[in-house]
Structure 1
Amino acid sequence: MPPATPATPLGERACGPAADPATWRRLRDRRDGLPQVEALLRLADVLAGEPVAALPASSYLEFERTGDRAGFERRYFQRRRRLAALALAALLEPERDTRALAETVVAICDEPQWALPAHVDRRGEIPPEHVVDLFAAETASALAEITGLLGPRLPDAVVRRARTLVRARVIDPYESHRWWWEDSPTNWASVCAGSVALAVLQVCEPDHAAALAPRLRATLRRSLDGYGDDGVCVEGFGYWTYGFGYHLVASEALDAALGPDPVAAPGHAAEAARWPSRAFLGGRVVVPFADTHVTDAISEGLLALAARRYGGVARPAPEVVARDVVDECGRWALALHGLARLDGAEHVWDAAPRHPLWFPRAQWLVVPQGERSPVGLAARAGHNGEPHNHDDLGSFALAVDGELLVGDAGRGVYDREYFGPRRYDSPATGSHGHPVPLLDEVRQAEGEQARAEVLEVALDGGRERLVLDLTAAYPHPALVRLVRTIERDGAVVIVTDAVETSAPVRVRQRFPVLAEPGASAAGTVEVAGARGRVTLRHDPGAAVETGAFPTGRGGFPQRVWWVDVVATTAPPDPLVLTTVLTAAARPR
């Protein structure tokens, strides 16, 4: 293994405006108008006064013992967040003391491995310290770029050790193995390949970097297959920032250092770049399908880079712009390249669409709150074999005045079971935690064969109508046909399930709600949130049951309740079960 080298000419070019001191001077001079800069410097001051988070072996072993990820990962990501914040503050303030930064680099180098316990190879074929997972790759890119940009302000021994480990733990194992994620149309492909590329450009000689680039670029291209022609990130909105964010900054770095990809196909990338402006239902509420939080924000700097690179990108509304440059996981590359692009964020932006959209490949209907609709609504078809899949065909989400109140409640708590054989036991992923029918407690099946057939999509200006045949999703022996219709007219959403069975079947229309439901009366149930309320009016002959899902491991990270409208089929006649949801914003 060759010795670690100082920053190469490729590394400086790969960092783009982040390598130019003038960028940081302009950001510093504009700090009063950039809340991201002020927030970052305050965070760095706080973290510099705290010790580096301890990372004992006992916390690493907790995943093996109990399946809990949170204890170890909280400490692990505290270190990365500290690393990123202190390094960015040092770039913004050339006179800032970097001893706390150096201490953090040393602590991360002292970790026996960088891959998470949930991602190591339990077959023993690859030593844990050589596993290239998302976070080992991210750590490598962070240490490589930080030592490249700030090397003269850090002890030489610290710089050399960090760069040596970047090679030994990530670049060399990448070269010597074929990794499963290289052919995965998911965030793994873009984050791992993108991070390796950023590290390679910093620590490898130009010929070596050029030799690795075609393989890295092929994986970055493969990651785009998860978006398709309509640009939707079916893994969840947060995975756009994560997955496409790394694709974006790594592609930009490779192009700047080595020239454009000769086989790049920008179509999918351009549509994916435009997804964030299409994903908000109102305020910070995003389309909550798959593994995503129900509210989110977006990096204006990353979108500025996407706008310059692809065009047709809408500037985010002020209320959805992320104020925290460094996220909870301390993702250095997104923070660095997003912040550096804020300096040139005055691009020509497209207007964000404020009208209903149907995405034919993902089969998602998205209705943003605005001049065409007083509420935000999303509904979906698709299949149950998608990346970060939930068994939720026919699911929907209803937001009022920037508050999600009824419908899909987003991702669950990540633990061993969440990504294992028992994934769909969690209400966050299984049908029982989604606004879809349950048939005698039989849930939807998982896998691509469980799919919705789209019978009708109508977007006629002020109203939308989506009709789905969900029969193939339910492995119930008595089910003949199940057709769900979701309609919006003004602030009213109507959900109708027409169920044909060969024997009596107890049908539940389940409605997860994010505020505790009030007492039912006269065929209605009230759900009142902080900003709005929804009245659920159900068929008089149906029963109503309410309850709550578990919070924490095995459930949702936030409190979620449910309202069930229950009736039984009487063959040969079909059961038509209709619930009308009427939304209203609270007076301000």
Structure 2
Amino acid sequence: MLAERYVTENLSELLLSRENYKPFPTIEERNKWGELPPSLKKFWIDKGENKLNYSWPTITATQYMDYNRTGNRARYDTISWKRRQDLTSLVVAECVENEGRFMDDIVNGIWCICEETFWGIPGNAYMMKRQDPLPDVSDQIIELFSAETAALLAWTYYLLKTKLDAISIMVRERIHLEVKKRILDPYLNRTDFWWMGFNQESMLNNWNPWCNSNCLSAFLLLEDDPQRREAAVVKTMRSLDNYIGRLHSDGGCEEGPKYWIFAGGTLFDCMELLYGVSGGKIDVYQELLIQQIGRYIYKAFIDDSFYANFADSSANVDIPAELTYRYGRRIEDARLSGLGAMVLKKKREEATNVEFSAMFRLLPALFNYTEIEQYTGESPYIRDAWLDGIQVMVAREQEGSSKGLYLAAKGGHNDESHNHNDIGQFIVYCDGSPMIIDPGIVTYTSKSFFSERYTIWTMQSAYHNLPIVNGVQQQNGRQYKADNVNYHQEDTLASLSMNIAGAYPDSAEIKIWKRSISLIRDSHPCIEIKDNFQLQRMTDDITLILMTPHPPQIEGTGSIVLQDENHNKVIIRYNGEMFVVSTDNLTLEDEIMRDVWGDQLYRIKLKKMTAADQAECIIKISKF
């Protein structure tokens, strides 16, 4: 998509020189900074004032070794990210105010970060050739947060160059030295980073555009040699092509809506950088795949900050409002822009918060703030969507509203990026409120991405809305997948059916398990989950799981009521002569889970009362 089209002998003519590349106004160019809304100026100056005479937090070797010793990565990661977020706040405050009050603290922040042994995090040091509890300074790997750090320092240099030089030219030279050694040189000289995709990696994921976007920023802003700068652009385009080439035409993000921020969102960052440095000549926004990647996020949108979450995604997602708006404007999709504008208007000043200090997102968010506040666009509440590549369907009762029932369901396989064993999983919302849920993700530890991943309960099918058969859960691996997947949609019905038997190992003794998940839009709307199964032998060891954030109220044989704090209710009906109901209370101790669901989740278990080797089971969920 990129390299074949733009890597030609004329590429150098397309690229603006470093001197002529001016993507945003620097601190000397006061007009745009002066036009920012007063409330926005105050917000950022207040953030900067909170860091005046700042004592930058210390990062120790033993904090780094927590990951190796205990599996905990939060103590080190939190301090590392805080340093970068605090530097961002100070830089923006100085650009807004332009009185020099924040410059000493900015220089201290730059110096602290440049003094760090490793710009990445312990959880990503598995990329180093020598494995040790401490990072190998001789092995300059590029991972997510080392690239983020390079970009932050590059944007800081771009915005404040004259003020930094007035204090000491050593600050600028130190930024150049550290970014060149840690990022620019290894980016050009190495092809063994798996995320680049040059070794035919099959599992490319958000790392590719995320790392590339930040490395490209550093090159465009700091690299003095035009040939090296052009070589970096070429390599970026070739690497991005490796990623884009593995995406399905539906544009779906198999990593879930949270990771769209760092997959589709950072791919958009890359496209914007290339578009900007070429004066709009490198432009792929009319490509259908690029458009579909943007549209995914409103196809996954439920209501408020809730999104249809699968894989390692929370149900509660704080999408970058301005990026979503701008993506929609680039591809001329008023729904996508409308979602961005809606989110910004809801969050107002909170939308200026920085996630991982991504300055290339913050700067346009500042300068487009007023424009977005005045934009309406189209409603992002679409009625139906089917993403055939990742095998995800979504459906709601009515277009343009969160009122009524909402359903999302998935097929796929159990070796997806950030995979959970969840083939046949579904979620149900009522009037925008979660009723039957996907629990999401807990805080990452050393178990999260390696051999012990599936010892974590949130990854297991037993904690998704799925059957447990003969005491056996679904298994992880590419061979464990849905078969005969069929999607059907009309005005009165949206349904997804599949055989999920192949998601279970042989020990489950399942011949066929056909699951059909439907939203029926008639005079009495309901969601129906129909399971038809055939087993190799008679058994009563069959349990259907339903996960919910609300205490289940057993309303006699065959019915359960769920009610949220706003008195939204659904009633779950099942065959009370076939199943006996029980519930488990799951006390949530993980901070990420508690932020979304509160103190507890509940696992409803419908257990087969009599032995059978084949049967049909139907669960119906209606608004109550």
Question: What TM-score does the superposition give when structure 2 sets the normalisation length?
Answer: 0.84
What corresponds to 1:112 in structure 2? 117
Q: Relative to 1, partners in 2 of residues 1:244 and 1:338: Cα closer, same or farther, differing over 3 Å?
A: farther
Amino acid at match of 2:420: H
Q: Relative to 1, partners in 2 of residues 1:157 and 1:364: Cα closer, same or farther, differing over 3 Å?
A: same
1:499 corresponds to which of 527, 533, 555: 533
What corresponds to 1:385 in structure 2? 415
C-alpha separation in 1, matches of 2:112 and 2:380: 44
Shift of 1:180: 0.7
C-alpha separation in 2, matches of 1:433 and 1:37: 46
Could you report, residue by residue, the CA deviation over 1:374-419 in whole angstroms, capped at 9, with x for unpaired residues?
1222111111121111110111111223322212122222111011
The answer to whether the Cα contact below 8 Å between 2:519 and 2:528 also exists between their aligned partners in 1 is yes
Amino acid at match of 1:305: R
C-alpha separation in 1, matches of 2:623 and 2:615: 26
What corresponds to 1:71 in structure 2? 75
Amino acid at match of 1:161: R
The answer to whether the Cα contact below 8 Å between 1:232 and 1:362 also exists between their aligned partners in 2 is yes
What corresponds to 2:9 in structure 1? none
Q: Relative to 1, partners in 2 of residues 1:343 and 1:263: Cα closer, same or farther, differing over 3 Å?
A: closer
C-alpha separation in 2, matches of 1:10 and 1:370: 51
The answer to whether the Cα contact below 8 Å between 2:414 and 2:421 also exists between their aligned partners in 1 is yes
| 2:343 maps to 1:303 | no
| 2:483 maps to 1:453 | yes
Amino acid at match of 1:581: I
Q: Relative to 1, partners in 2 of residues 1:524 and 1:40: Cα closer, same or farther, differing over 3 Å?
A: farther
| 2:562 maps to 1:527 | yes
C-alpha separation in 1, matches of 2:62 and 2:321: 39
| 2:342 maps to 1:329 | no
What corresponds to 1:127 in structure 2? 136
Could you report, residue by residue, the CA deviation over 1:197-232 in whole angstroms, capped at 9, with x for unpaired residues?
000111112332112211111222333345421121
C-alpha separation in 2, matches of 1:284 and 1:162: 38
| 2:156 maps to 1:181 | no
Backbone CA RMSD of aligned residues: 2.8
What corresponds to 1:480 in structure 2? 511
C-alpha separation in 2, matches of 1:570 and 1:396: 26
C-alpha separation in 1, matches of 2:609 and 2:45: 60
Amino acid at match of 2:531: D
C-alpha separation in 2, matches of 1:484 and 1:527: 23
Amino acid at match of 1:580: K
Shift of 1:66: 0.9
Percent of paired sites with the same residue:
22
What corresponds to 1:5 in structure 2? none
Amino acid at match of 1:334: R
Greater RCO, CA 8 A, separation 6+: 1
The answer to whether the Cα contact below 8 Å between 1:186 and 1:226 also exists between their aligned partners in 2 is no
Q: Relative to 1, partners in 2 of residues 1:533 and 1:328: Cα closer, same or farther, differing over 3 Å?
A: farther
What corresponds to 1:543 in structure 2? 580
Aligned residue pair count: 571
Could you report, residue by residue, the CA deviation over 1:429-473 in whole angstroms, capped at 9, with x for unpaired residues?
111121111112211121222111244422222432221111111
| 2:172 maps to 1:172 | no
| 2:351 maps to 1:338 | no
Unaligned runs of 5+ in 2: 1-14, 198-202
| 2:623 maps to 1:583 | yes
C-alpha separation in 1, matches of 2:493 and 2:283: 45
C-alpha separation in 1, matches of 2:20 and 2:608: 65
| SS of equivalent residue, structure 2 residue 339 | coil
C-alpha separation in 1, matches of 2:557 and 2:494: 28
The answer to whether the Cα contact below 8 Å between 1:274 and 1:313 also exists between their aligned partners in 2 is no
Amino acid at match of 2:152: A
Amino acid at match of 1:72: Y
Question: What TM-score does the superposition give when structure 1 sets the normalisation length?
Answer: 0.89
What corresponds to 2:31 in structure 1? 22
| SS of equivalent residue, structure 1 residue 467 | strand
The answer to whether the Cα contact below 8 Å between 2:47 and 2:93 also exists between their aligned partners in 1 is no
Q: Relative to 1, partners in 2 of residues 1:115 and 1:437: Cα closer, same or farther, differing over 3 Å?
A: same
C-alpha separation in 2, matches of 1:182 and 1:62: 29
Amino acid at match of 2:460: G
C-alpha separation in 2, matches of 1:188 and 1:543: 45
C-alpha separation in 2, matches of 1:515 and 1:287: 18
Q: Relative to 1, partners in 2 of residues 1:174 and 1:362: Cα closer, same or farther, differing over 3 Å?
A: same
Bigger mean CA offset, 52-61 vs 575-584? 575-584
The answer to whether the Cα contact below 8 Å between 2:325 and 2:339 also exists between their aligned partners in 1 is no
The answer to whether the Cα contact below 8 Å between 1:281 and 1:377 also exists between their aligned partners in 2 is no
Q: Relative to 1, partners in 2 of residues 1:143 and 1:317: Cα closer, same or farther, differing over 3 Å?
A: closer
Bigger mean CA offset, 501-510 vs 562-571? 562-571
Bigger mean CA offset, 178-187 vs 532-541? 532-541
What corresponds to 1:144 in structure 2? 154
